Structure 1
Amino acid sequence: MSNETPEKDSNRKLLVVGLIIVLLSINGILIYMQQQKTQETDEQKEIIKVKSTELENQIKVYETLKADYERQKAELGALGLTNDSLETRIAAINADLAQLRAFRNSSFTVADQRRFQQRAQNLELALQKKDEEMTKLQGDNEELFTEVTGLKTTQNKLADSITTLSSNNKELAEKVNLASKLEAQNIAVTIINDNGKEKEDSNEEYKAKRVDKIKLSFRLGKNEVAPKENKEILMRLIEPDGSALYNLATGSGTFEFEGKEQFYTAKRDIVFDNSQQQVSFIYSKGSPYKTGKHTIEIYAGGFLIGSTSFTLK
């Protein structure tokens, strides 16, 4: 050791110092590289976190779009309308949602993000346009509903007026009809026996077995309301048992009076001229008459215009 020169000792110290410096430099580089790696890892984690947030936000956007389009579909359905393009967009949104949810287990790139954002914007624009169209359509429907309601109100008022007018006309017609009712006046019953002789005293009781025909005569009273036209005069000869004589062979028939079907014995057609004209019936039963009180009723225009009675013994 004592043989080493001061020069060699100095060189050794320099070598040691240099080695220490190299080691320190290497250690520093390693520390720097580790820090860089840690920073890159943190940045990567942050990027992954950001991408995950953006993916979830994009999914929420599409879920909102789906709900809005389904709302539109329901509103159109309420209006009784359908829209094929709306169904197509809902199907496209469902397909995009399936792809976005699949990105949770794979890489969601910036390009993917931009692509789906653009599609969402297009869908949002289409949604807004359709909402505007539907708002206008609903407004038109409300206006049309108001017009229809007004027309129905007017129609109901008109129907009420027509009903009232019809009722008034019916009432007036009934009054006119009642006022035009004819009246049989000076009613007389004549008994014609089998010898052809007539007996006019209606207070006398006649023997039924000698009666061949019954003659009824009367005048039609004056009536300025009744129109001068053809009139159908019906005569009912009612026997003591309450039944009306009826024989088709001698011109009998049926008519309606006060809602019930009645039999008439004979009929005459005349032209009413408001001259107090005379009208008569001659009726032959063709078989013996019953004893007792007989009633004769005279009808015209749906009214009972006169009646009388006679008795056979």
Structure 2
Amino acid sequence: MESQKSNSSLKAIIVVLAILLVGSLAYMYKMSTDNEKIEKGHLSEKETLVKELEAAKESYDAAIAENTGLKGDLETERAKIVELLEKVKKADGTTASLAHYRTDYIKLKREHDQLIAQVKKLKEENGSLTTQRDSSRTALDESKRYIDTLATKNDNLSKTVEKAQKLSLVNLKAQSFKERSSGKLVETEKARRVDVIKISFTIAANEVATAGDKQYYVQVIDPKNNVIGEKKTESFGDSSLTYSFITNATYQNKNMEVSQTVKGEDFAKGLYTVNVFDKGVAVANSTFTLK
């Protein structure tokens, strides 16, 4: 009788151990499957970011090959893309590292889109001028007796086109700093530490634009929709503009870097908007965030 009880107990123990063993194997299989899915997800995200960076690099290569007036800026931004691409390729593929590199790429992508748009615009403008020049030459060839008249008209047309060209602003950036007692600026994105905002942009080279003194109104708007800085107002016809500061530049038809700072205190956390105006007309805008 006792032998039967012992056998029953032994069988019960074996059954329990078997159930536990099956449960453990199932749990280990699930954990292995979940980890594999996570790793594949990270790998896929990394591959996507690599492809996007390679596409941006190829876009810069094509633009540089056209030898535009923005070649220097294009080569500078391309170098940044190449540098980030190498970092991403060497990254371990964790969520934290990919998120950091994705943020860097978004900033570089904004610069890429602005520069490529400028390249396209300059190409179209040059094409338009070339078409006008060719048309004038055809007219001169067809009727030599009107050469003086046509030459005068062509000269007037060139002057009209030159005056009509609007300068383009690219690479509009905003950087936030903490100013130390020594006067040294230390870059930071923490709102509670910021007391200086530096605004910079490039006036793109344009051979048909009029050289000389240029004046731009810069407007920096905080997350509460308030204009920071001088907060002065200028009227342009029926409209008015409240600006943070005015920046002046002597333009010589070449790429020209312009920068100026805005001091303040108690900067709020959130998204800031930067607008640049040529008199009352908006010509560039960008955003930045303080944490």
TM range (shorter): 0.3 to 0.5
TM-score (norm 2): 0.44
TM-score (norm 1): 0.41
- State which structure, 1 or 2, has the greater radius of gyration over its C-alpha atoms: 1
